[in-house]
Amino acid sequence: MKVAMFSTKRYDRTFFDAANRDRHEITYFEPRLTASTAPLAERYPAVCAFINDELDAATLKILAAGNTRTIALRSAGFNNVDLPEAKALGMNVVRVPAYSPYAVAEHAVGLVLTLNRKLHRAYSRVRDDNFALDGLLGFDLHGATVGIVGTGKIGRCFACIMQGFGCKLLAYDVYQNPECLEMGIEYVELPELLGRSDIISLHCPLTENTHHLVNDETIALFKPGVMLINTSRGALIDTAAAIQGIKSGQIGYLGIDVYEREADIFFEDLSDEVLHDDVFQLLQSFSNVVITAHQAFFTRNALEAISSTTLANLDDIEQGRSCANEVKS
Ligand code: NAD
């Protein structure tokens, strides 16, 4: 099948070429998919898209007019797709529901350890021959209470690792995961989780219900000085409210791999340019904030799984089989 792949980086090409072995005819496009770049996909029956590609109604209509019938997401999340519009246009949307929950959970733990033991600050200090410890004081994770919002595949992996540290685990989810119950995780309502946790980690999808789940009102419920980790989707956090929370000390540490307005900046080298996002710049200025640029998924294992599953999804569509990874609206 002819596939137009958007937001392609060198590493995507490497992993897809290795897994594809000329099965599908893939054209790699570097630009992000938007209504302006969608005409590039004219006459491609399939479009392969990533997390910051904009599959809104306008883009989907252009793709459909150019005869695209399949959207193959190389991600688990599908909050960037207007599913009702895709359905109305008769398009299949397929995704990679689980490529490596370990990759994302382990990165979330990396953010916890970095923030707690201030490794980001220690690293530059030692390189500067400053061997003083003032300002680097951490706390034992053993015995700390960790609140997990969303106990699906990634949340459960995160829970397993934190349990290994000897943390007490609380969880909130609209659905209780039997594997988490078996581990002894205590499910509570969201306000209780927010009020009792020393560390809160977000692992739920971005939906209408979870948009700005962290806002002025919910931040007021936090234990003062809480550590907040978000490796899920940027818009789970109202960034302006988080900044106020950091300034007031209500949020003691913030570790994010995702950011509400990341689509304009992440995955690009902008080191020679002036960044115009003042909110992001302010966020970066706090020493108790660690930001990574949506790299939690970025392991060799995950990229292998993303390419092989995406190609298998395209095989299913091409051969008219039902695809287990189809996203239903
Ligand atoms: P999953 O579907 O296995 O788990 C999501 C869990 O969230 C489910 O248990 C679901 O019941 C729960 N949930 C749904 N609505 C909720 C709500 N309103 N409140 C609380 N919980 C709710 O998904 P997953 O594979 O664990 O991935 C979780 C999220 O991680 C994805 O949606 C995606 O946004 C994000 N993600 C980020 C990266 C990255 O590189 N940073 C990579 C992959 C996935």
CA of 174 to the centre of ligand 1 (A): 11
Residue 184 CB partners (closer than 8 Å, separation 6+):
169
CA of 321 to the centre of ligand 1 (A): 27
Range of the domain at 126: 101-291
The mean pLDDT value of the chain amounts to: 97
The mean pLDDT of 63-85, rounded to a whole number, is 96
Rounded Cα gap, residues 6 and 33, in angstroms:
6
Residue 68 lies in a domain: yes
Residue 329 lies in a domain: no
- Cβ–Cβ under 8 Å, residues 296 and 107: yes
Q: HSE on the CB side for 34, CA within 13 Å?
A: 7
Claim to verify: residue 151 and residue 283 sit in the same structural domain: yes
Domain count, the chain: 2
The SS3 call for residue 168 is strand
Claim to verify: residue 92 and residue 163 sit in the same structural domain: no
Claim to verify: residue 222 and residue 185 sit in the same structural domain: yes
pLDDT at 328 over 90: no
Q: Mutate which of 7, 73, 104, 237 to test ligand 1's pocket (most atoms within 8 Å of Cβ)?
A: 104
262 part of the active site: yes
Q: Select which of 268, 294, 318, 321 is catalytic.
A: 294
Other C-beta atoms lying within 10 Å of the C-beta of residue 111: 24
Given phi > 0 = left and psi -120 to 50 = alpha, else beta, which region is 314? alpha
The label of the residue with tokens 């519009």 reads 85
The SS3 call for residue 228 is strand
294 part of the active site: yes
pLDDT tens digits, residue range 111-146? 999 999 999 999 999 999 999 999 999 999 999 999
- Residue 264 is predicted with a pLDDT of 87
Residue 324 lies in a domain: no
Residue 257 lies in a domain: yes
- Residue 22 is predicted with a pLDDT of 86
What torsion do the CA atoms of 320, 321, 324, 326 make, to the nearest 10 degrees?
10
Closest Cα partner for 50 from 72, 66, 28, 17?
72
Q: What would the 3-class secondary structure string for 186-201 be?
A: EECCHHHHHHHCCEEE
CA of 108 to the centre of ligand 1 (A): 13
120 part of the active site: no
Confidence of residue 74 (pLDDT cuts 50, 70, 90): very high
Q: What is the CATH number of the domain that holds 45?
A: 3.40.50.720
pLDDT at 329 over 80: no
Other C-beta atoms lying within 10 Å of the C-beta of residue 124: 9
pLDDT tens digits, residue range 261-309? 999 899 999 999 999 999 999 999 999 999 999 999 999 999 999 999 9
